[in-house]
Amino acid sequence: MAASTQHGSPRFPTITGVLPPSTQEEMDTAVKELQRQKDVWVALSIRDRITLLETLLTDMAAIAERWVHLSCQAKALAPDLQGEEWAIGPWPVLRNLRQLQQSLRDIELFGRPHIPGPVQTLPNGQTSAQVFPYSTYDRLFFPGVTAEIWMEPGVSAEALPETQALIYQQKQHPGKVALVLGAGNVSSIAPTDVLYKLFAEDQVVVLKMNPVNAYIGPLIEKGFRVLIERGFLRVTYGGAAEGAYLCNHPGVDEIHITGSDKTFEAIVFGTGEEGARRKAENQPLLHKPITGELGNVSPVIVVPGPWTTADIAYQAEHLVTSLTTNAGFNCNATRVIIQHAGWNQRQELLQALRATFAKVPPRTAFYPGARDRFQSFLQAHPDAETLGSASEQQLPWTLIPDVYPTKVNDICFTTEAFCALSSETALPASSVVEYLDRAVEFANETLWGTLNATILIHPLSLRDPEVAAALDRAIERLRYGTVSVNYWAATSFTLGVTTWGAFPGHTLNDVQSGIGVVHNTLLFSRPQKTVLRAPFRSVPTPPWFATRTKAASALFPRLADFERDPSPLKIPGLALAMLK
């Protein structure tokens, strides 16, 4: 089946994984065993869970190197790119495990996880909690980077602790079996989704691996062996047929999916004309709770300012990295760069982008349907610029500049490319303040999805009180699950302590970027968004930038080891690696 590009995220073609699909008998057995153990899991003491997490840390660290090797092999990555796979694979999983363990220790002692930063009431009345830096070590590894979680309106600062770790405050709820439909693009997604269901929502899990990265499944079984041995997790394999069987299994109580809104809708409403009718009439076939993270047309709002040549070069690397990471197969990859039409450095930034893209070697287009999606964008925009050369198995980095902002149905605005392609548009405005207001409205009302948005703004621009107020207004008004200032919003995905998911309010028949959150290791029950902030230019340049592959390959294996067993004795080695 060919990939279909249309409004929203892609409808991916059906493929066969490298491992044989689970039989119906195997899936039935898995669900039956989990049903038998679901109440045992709910009754498991906090002390036992802390012990489990210690074992999980050890076991996941033991398979990390093999995990990265298989991922690099499957994606045909050059050896100098292994750092990227550490950064989006084992490291965030180990970090998540470490933070969950600390949260449970806090719950054991104080009844709820400790919030590491201040809790305050914002001018609009919402409550925010600073959750990052999570530790002293974070201040060393991420200098100047902070993150707050803003709560939904109605949660007061005084009542905030009562919204944390609800499943640990009352143990009267029954056990449940959750189905996690794993993502195929980033190998840390399935394990962290499993952990969230278990430790944040008190549900045992049947994980169905995505056929794209099913090769990681046996390693997840090894790393999570203690959960499997106790009957709290089962791992299954297969494609759409196996996923549908499990979704409709009477022994599965809830579902979580990371993937496409098309897959989500097929699960909820069915397929074809009948499914479309049911969606239009909001008559779901599925009658069990379902959550999901389903992609985005992710914007970066570039605020005009007195940028130097060095600033332009730095932010060009930043923007290029936000597409080239994982070959562009990320739901949080930058798809639309928004600029001020009257900024006299707009073209300079575009030229720097072209030059930087041309320096980054192309990647293998490993995700199914990429070439079809790519071609559909080129058909709509024959003037698209391909930068650098690419082989048959690769796609060139591609930029579509100057997309008319008034063409609200343009494919660049309505459709997640999910390949090596980004676009740029420019909004007219009489001032920076008006531009920021218009950019927020454009992102909210024109672009599809609500997962993540990034703002780039020079510190000298913020010396103007009206611009500073416009930035505050933008952060408040952007309807995205993560809003980041001067740091690619996708980094919030790896921090663990932040939330990851769509802005609240989507419904089954208008799901867009999804429903619910994951990660969230401080276990807030009513988060609205994560707000990330960083210096305009970090020093040293972040190791995840596309131009720092040597540093990434040296640093991220060490960071993974550090999460397994933190020690100040490891700091000198980490510092040296960061400077490579």
| Bridge partner residues of 427 (DSSP) | 340
What is the full DSSP assignment across 358-393? HHSPPEE--STTHHHHHHHHHHH-TTPEEES---TT
Residue 1 has pLDDT above 80, yes or no: no
User: Would you give the DSSP letter of residue 526?
Assistant: S
Contacts of 382 (CB under 8 A, 6+ apart): none
Q: What does the pLDDT look like over 337-360, one tens digit per residue?
A: 999 999 999 999 999 999 999 999
Residue ranges, CATH 3.40.309.10, the chain: 298-478
What confidence tier does 18 reach under pLDDT thresholds 50, 70, 90?
Answer: confident
Residue 3 has pLDDT above 80, yes or no: no
For residues 50-76, average pLDDT: 98
CA distances from 190 to 91, 182, 215, 269, 573 (A): 14, 5, 13, 24, 30
What confidence tier does 90 reach under pLDDT thresholds 50, 70, 90?
Answer: very high
Q: Which pLDDT score is estimated for 171?
A: 80
Helix (H) or strand (E) holding 243: helix 240-247
Helix (H) or strand (E) holding 436: helix 432-445
Q: How far apart are CA 247 and CA 269, in angstroms?
A: 12
Least confident of 133-137, 283-287, 576-580: 576-580
Q: Under CATH, to which class is 298-478 assigned?
A: alpha beta
Question: Within 13 Å of residue 382, how many CA atoms lie on the same side as its CB?
Answer: 0
What confidence tier does 15 reach under pLDDT thresholds 50, 70, 90?
Answer: confident
Contact at 8 Å (CB) between 201 and 62? no
Neighbouring CB atoms inside 10 A of 414's CB total 18
Per DSSP, the three-state class of 295 is coil
Residue 5 has pLDDT above 70, yes or no: no
254-258/290-293 β-pairing: parallel
Stronger pLDDT, 6 or 474, i.e. the higher one = 474
Helix (H) or strand (E) holding 208: strand 203-208
CA distances from 31 to 9, 236, 244, 257 (A): 30, 10, 14, 17
CA angle 114, 115, 120 (to 5 degrees): 145
Nearest CA among 101, 51, 239, 218 for reference residue 523: 101
Residue 6 has pLDDT above 80, yes or no: no
Q: What does the pLDDT look like over 425-479, one tens digit per residue?
A: 999 999 999 999 999 999 999 999 999 999 999 999 999 999 999 999 999 999 9
Nearest CA among 493, 505, 386 for reference residue 450: 505
Nearest CA among 30, 18, 10 for reference residue 238: 18
Q: Torsion angle, CA of 533/535/540/542, rounded to 10 degrees? A: 40
Contacts of 578 (CB under 8 A, 6+ apart): 141, 540, 543, 551, 555
Stronger pLDDT, 2 or 257, i.e. the higher one = 257
Neighbouring CB atoms inside 10 A of 416's CB total 26
Contacts of 465 (CB under 8 A, 6+ apart): none
Nearest CA among 226, 300, 282 for reference residue 51: 226
The per-type count for the chain, helices as H runs and strands as E runs, is 21, 21
Q: What does the pLDDT look like over 563-576, one tens digit per residue?
A: 999 999 999 999 99
Q: What does the pLDDT look like over 163-204, one tens digit per residue?
A: 999 999 988 899 999 999 999 999 999 999 999 999 999 999
Backbone angles phi, psi at 62, to 5 degrees: -65, -30
Q: What does the pLDDT look like over 394-404, one tens digit per residue?
A: 999 999 999 99
Contact at 8 Å (CB) between 57 and 27? no
Q: What does the pLDDT look like over 103-140, one tens digit per residue?
A: 999 999 999 999 999 999 999 999 999 999 999 999 99
Residue 2 has pLDDT above 60, yes or no: no
Q: Which pLDDT score is estimated for 488?
A: 98
Residue 11 has pLDDT above 90, yes or no: no
Radius of gyration of the chain, Cα coordinates, nearest whole angstrom: 23
The separation between CA 69 and the C-alpha centre of its own chain, rounded to angstroms, equals 22
Residue reference for tokens 């690769």: 394
Residue ranges, CATH 3.40.605.10, the chain: 24-113+165-293
Neighbouring CB atoms inside 10 A of 540's CB total 13
Q: How far apart are CA 482 and CA 149, in angstroms?
A: 9
Task: Assess if CATH 3.40.605.10 describes domain 24-113+165-293.
Answer: yes
Q: How far apart are CA 258 and CA 519, in angstroms?
A: 13
Per DSSP, the three-state class of 500 is strand
Q: Which pLDDT score is estimated for 4?
A: 42
Q: How far apart are CA 120 and CA 117, in angstroms?
A: 10
Residue 63 has pLDDT above 90, yes or no: yes
Contacts of 402 (CB under 8 A, 6+ apart): 424, 425, 426
Contact at 8 Å (CB) between 561 and 567? no
CA distances from 182 to 90, 171, 202, 209, 238 (A): 16, 28, 19, 5, 11
Q: What does the pLDDT look like over 294-314, one tens digit per residue?
A: 999 999 999 999 999 999 999
CA distances from 484 to 148, 436, 534 (A): 10, 14, 8
